[in-house]
Amino acid sequence: MILDELYMRRCLQLAEMGAGTVSPNPMVGAVVVHNQQIIGEGYTSPYGGPHAEVNAVQEVIAKYGEADAAQMLKNSTIYVSLEPCAHFGKTPPCADMLVRYQLQKVVIACQDPFAKVNGAGVQRLQDAGIEVVLGVLEQEAQWLNRRFFTRLSQHRPYVILKWAQTNNGFLASLEPKQQWISNSASQQLVHKWRAEEDAILVGTRTALIDNPALTVRDWEGSHPKRVLIDKDLSVAADSAILNADVETFVFNAQKTDWSTHVKYIELENFDLYLPQNILYQLHLMDVQSIIIEGGSKTLQMFIDAGLWDEARIFSADFAWENGLPAPIVNGRLIERLQVGSDKLEIISRS
């Protein structure tokens, strides 16, 4: 069991390498072990490409050649952080590939709740006479793919709240002007987070005062889709958030227009169940995760609706005499970190 956990931890490390590229697929890692030696590793390719198991097996073939690899695989165990798929999607079923190479044993961290898998992958392996072990580091694997599981179980994106506050709890100035609270290291970390999620959202006030581009500049990675709540279309067309760098969705009460990179989506009864309607529309567009970077009103709207999963809160090492108070969330502390002079707390709602 100790070795099983060791190899599975490597799977989880590999899986994280797909962050920001595999959505709406889950992040998966795979390790092939022969005589207690790792002979192949892989993680899921960017969306539409080969899955982790295929990449791991192909690495074995590349190292040892087709004939020797085939013989070695018959006497090998493959560790996978999520149940191998059993259906045709963008790629053929991974379970069928493992059966074809006659792997001796498959160790799986957690079952895939997707309706077209959900035990079918395990069953296909067992029917072929392959030994299957399920549940090694299950909780860790579920946490890693919390975005994927939330999308399947709640039919909405995984919601991450993010803000910076002074050490006495103020989020923004009372005056309509931009004032940085977090330090440069924290700002770079936020850009890393943006590259890992599908979308990022702000409200009208933040767009008008800060004029944010909401892109990834201080980290290597893809820009997230931008989401703007702008009921009366008050944000000017030449604002940074509406530039051509990335697709932007504007939820409003005025018009629907999908003719350019800016997609305007009109919501009837705009103020009624606004966060629910926004998340439902994004779910339909395969947005699996979103960072809410809006001001206090936008953040509080999602908090009041109970529509958040994780909060990432930076606290600076200085105080203000006054300002707009930061939201308060109740949840389970996951992690507390020091980021330069800032303190970061990560809180889970569940």
85 is in an annotated binding site: yes
298 vs 161, 305, 327, CA distance in Å?
10, 11, 10
**Distance, CA of 42 to chain centre:** 19
How many angstroms separate the CA atoms of 27 and 21, rounded?
A: 9
Integer-rounded Cα Rg, in Å, for the chain is: 23
286 is in an annotated binding site: no
293 is in an annotated binding site: yes
Burial 166-191 (b: 16+ CB within 10 A, else e): beeebbbeeeeeeeebbbeebbebbb
Question: Which residue is catalytic, options 5, 41, 53, 345?
Answer: 53
Can you read off the two tokens belonging to residue 266?
Answer: 């009109």
210 is in an annotated binding site: yes
137 is in an annotated binding site: no
For 160-215, the DSSP string reads: EEEEEE-TTSEEE-SSSS----S-HHHHHHHHHHHHHSSEEEEEHHHHHHH-----
> Which residues have C-beta within 8 Å of that of residue 265, sequence separation ≥ 6?
249, 250, 251, 252, 256, 281
Reported residue count of the chain is 350
How many angstroms separate the CA atoms of 160 and 82, rounded?
A: 23
Can you read off the two tokens belonging to residue 268?
Answer: 């009837």
- 196 catalytically annotated: no
180 is in an annotated binding site: yes
How many angstroms separate the CA atoms of 161 and 308, rounded?
A: 7
**37 burial type by CB count under 10 A (0-12 exposed, 13-18 middle, 19+ buried):** exposed
164 is in an annotated binding site: yes
214 is in an annotated binding site: yes
219 is in an annotated binding site: no
Give the CA diameter of the chain: 73
Can you read off the two tokens belonging to residue 332?
Answer: 């389970």
CB 131 within 8 A of CB 105: yes
Residues at the binding site for substrate are: 194, 206, 214, 217, 293
Residues at the binding site are: 51, 85, 94, 164, 180, 194, 206, 210, 214, 217, 293
Positions marked active-site: 53
Residues at the binding site for Zn(2+) are: 51, 85, 94
Residues at the binding site for NADP(+) are: 164, 180, 210
